[in-house]
């Protein structure tokens, strides 16, 4: 696909470790960002995908896929062995052949800057010290590993993340003021904040008729998501009103867990749903117990944007403004979860009004505005 060049438009080299898609929160942010940036910029896109993932479909002629890399366990191990003293979270997507390809691209093109999506791509930025760079930190890895890693793992993450965030000519973005403060305190970096982009499907999903149903949504191969839903069914489920229907949305729920819940009354595993937002908008609540991980939880933001209250713990709501706290219902133990679920009653008009307020006030800071101002 060839560009029709406009000299006033910037040219961006965009590196991401996942297929931009609607299948998970971070990937959906990347997809929507590419759509927004492509309205006024040219983008050369390099991304990784697994063999069973569909390829990315460019939104228009201003986005060009310059390389698609098929990921595998073997490739990730090989990449890690090249940098044995760097934590694998930063090295598993770093490949010498890919670096040579990127070096050729940079030499042949007059890019305005290099966009590094996720910390997993930041090592490539090390080899272009003079180039302007943006690093989009989806999660502050130091916080994630402080909650789930051992002391050695945390030390390696701190060292690696600090060196990558301090790359010359690099502007770091994150998703919340909370993460911005962590980055400043841990690494001495003054980063910027961007909100998530809200998909049109989210924006257009309004509460119409509240059904007595609960929603779980997530990418279930992520330990923080799976640990939360398993904890709920082990510790809370027996104490909630069984007339609630429970819908579980998302790929990769382990087979043994699916077998555990398949005979429970009113529990249904839906798998991946292309547009789950009308269902969410008309559910009693989204349930989100999370005990590890880091960063703003996209499923919480999207549920609030649908006008749906979320019942969760402190980690579930990290980084989301307190101005939306009346629909962020805190629960920190099994009894609190059961009591909040069994007693929840927010009428349709309040939910409708909350949605309008959320849409009017959430997207105040967007990374595309910064990029387009450069």
Mean pLDDT along residues 266-286: 95
| CATH fold of the domain at 10-194 | Rossmann fold (3.40.50)
Under CATH, to which class is 200-361 assigned? alpha beta
SS3 per residue for the chain: CCCCCCCCCEEEEEEECCCCCCCCHHHHHHHHHHHHHCCCEEEEEEEEEECCCCCCCCCCCCEEEEEEEEECHHHHHHHHHHCCCCCHHHHCCCCHHHHHHHHHHHHHCCCCEEEEECHHHHHHHCCCCCCCEEEECCCCHHHHHHHHCCHHHHHHHHHHHHHHHCCCCEEEEECCHHHHHHHHHHHCCCCEECCCCCCHHHHCCCCCCCEEEEEEECCCCCHHHHHHHHHHHHHCHHHCCCCCEEEEECCCCCHHHHHHHCCCCCEEEEECCCCCHHHHHCEEEEEECCCCCCCCCHHHHHHHHCCCCEEECHHHHCCCCHHHHHHEEECCCHHHHHHHHHHCCCCHHHHHHHHHHHHHHCCCCCHHHHHHHC
Confidence of residue 3 (pLDDT cuts 50, 70, 90): low
Judge whether 10-194 and 200-361 match in fold: yes
Give the model confidence (pLDDT) of 218-268 as tens digits: 989 888 899 999 999 999 999 999 999 999 999 899 999 999 999 999 999
What is the average pLDDT score of the chain?
91
Give the model confidence (pLDDT) of 173-204 as tens digits: 999 999 999 999 989 999 999 999 999 999 99
Give the model confidence (pLDDT) of 18-71 as tens digits: 999 987 788 999 999 999 999 999 999 999 998 888 999 999 999 999 999 998
Mean pLDDT along residues 342-357: 95
Residue 148: the pLDDT is 67
In the chain, % of residues over pLDDT 70: 97
Q: Is the pLDDT of residue 13 over 90?
A: yes
Residue 72: the pLDDT is 78
Could you state, in order of their start, the residue ranges of all structural domains in the chain? 10-194, 200-361
């Amino acid at each position: 696909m060839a560009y029709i060049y406009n000299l006033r438009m910037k040219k961006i080299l965009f590196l991401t470790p996942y297929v931009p898609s609607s299948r998970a929160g971070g990937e959906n942010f990347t997809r929507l960002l590419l759509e927004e940036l492509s309205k006024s910029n040219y983008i050369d896109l390099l991304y990784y995908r697994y063999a069973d993932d569909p390829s990315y479909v460019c939104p228009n002629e201003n986005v060009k896929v310059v390389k698609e890399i098929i990921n595998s366990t073997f490739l990730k191990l090989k990449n890690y062995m090249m940098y044995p003293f760097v934590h694998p979270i930063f090295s598993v997507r770093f490949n010498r052949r890919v670096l040579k390809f990127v070096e050729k691209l940079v030499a042949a093109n007059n890019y305005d800057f290099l966009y590094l999506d996720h910390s997993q791509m930041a090592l490539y930025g090390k080899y272009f010290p003079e180039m302007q760079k943006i690093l989009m930190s989806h999660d502050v890895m130091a916080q994630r590993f402080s909650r789930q890693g051992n002391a050695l793992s945390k030390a390696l993450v701190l060292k690696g993340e600090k060196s990558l965030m301090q790359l010359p000519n690099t502007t770091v973005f994150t998703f919340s003021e909370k993460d911005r403060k962590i980055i400043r305190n841990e690494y001495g970096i003054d980063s910027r904040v961007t909100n998530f982009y809200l998909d049109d499907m989210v924006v257009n999903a309004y509460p119409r008729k509240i059904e007595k149903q609960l929603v779980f949504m997530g990418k279930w191969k992520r330990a923080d998501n799976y640990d939360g839903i398993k904890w709920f069914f082990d510790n809370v489920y027996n104490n909630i009103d069984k007339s609630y229907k429970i819908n579980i949305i998302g790929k990769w729920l382990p087979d043994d867990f699916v077998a555990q819940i398949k005979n429970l009354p009113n529990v249904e595993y839906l798998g991946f749903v292309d547009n789950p937002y009308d269902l969410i908008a008309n559910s009693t609540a989204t349930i989100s117990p999370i005990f590890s991980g880091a960063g703003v939880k996209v499923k919480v933001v999207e549920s609030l944007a649908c006008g749906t209250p979320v019942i969760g713990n402190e980690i579930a709501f990290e980084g989301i403004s307190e101005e939306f706290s009346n629909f962020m219902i805190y629960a920190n133990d099994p009894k609190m979860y059961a009591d909040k679920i069994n007693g929840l009653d927010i009428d349709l008009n309040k939910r409708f009004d909350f949605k309008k307020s959320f849409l009017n006030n959430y997207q105040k800071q967007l990374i595309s505005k910064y990029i387009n101002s450069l």
